[in-house]
């Protein structure tokens, strides 16, 4: 396996032991720890919102950095891919389309998410 894209939901659940997806997210992250873990900056921001409210962004960033998750800027190719995905799947939210567009642009092998609806959009998707 090569690049693995992480959706915000996976990281959010990993941080929160009470989250229904915590065990699945933790196991999934453990199973891909030797792979190249990547996220678009938009998904990184999504995962930090709760921590910003709680005043713990620095701690959250340190925990993410310890796992060596590469964070990439959202470029015009990702934006165009996200727009095309969103046009085909109107119920998909733009932040979700950005993650899937990013995965398409970098030709990721896998996208890990907690959202089952994504399986209809891409065969790269693995739901934790």
Give residue-wise pLDDT tens across range 83-123.
Answer: 999 999 999 999 999 999 999 999 999 999 999 999 999 99
Q: Could you tell me which residues are beta bridge partners of residue 6?
A: 112
The pLDDT tens digits of the residues spanning 3-30 come to: 999 999 999 999 899 999 999 999 999 9
In the chain, beta strands by DSSP E: 3-6, 36-40, 69-72, 110-113, 125-127
Q: Map out the domains of the chain with their CATH numbers.
A: 3-127 (3.40.50.1010)
Cα–Cα distance measured from residue 41 to residue 53, given in angstroms and rounded to the nearest whole number: 18
Tokens 């910003």 found at = 52
For the chain, first and last CA: distance in Å? 17
């Amino acid at each position: 396996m090569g690049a693995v894209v992480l959706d915000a939901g996976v990281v959010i659940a990993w941080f929160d032991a009470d989250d229904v997806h915590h065990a699945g997210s933790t196991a999934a992250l453990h199973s891909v720890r030797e792979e190249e873990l990547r996220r678009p900056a938009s998904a990184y921001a999504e995962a930090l919102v709760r921590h910003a409210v709680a005043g713990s962004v620095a701690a959250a960033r340190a925990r993410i950095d310890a796992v060596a998750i590469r964070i990439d800027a959202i470029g015009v190719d990702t934006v165009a891919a996200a727009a095309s995905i969103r046009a085909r799947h109107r119920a998909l939210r733009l932040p979700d389309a950005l993650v899937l567009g990013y995965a398409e642009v970098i030709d990721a092998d896998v996208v890990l998410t907690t959202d089952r609806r994504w399986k209809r959009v891409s065969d790269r998707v693995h739901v934790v």
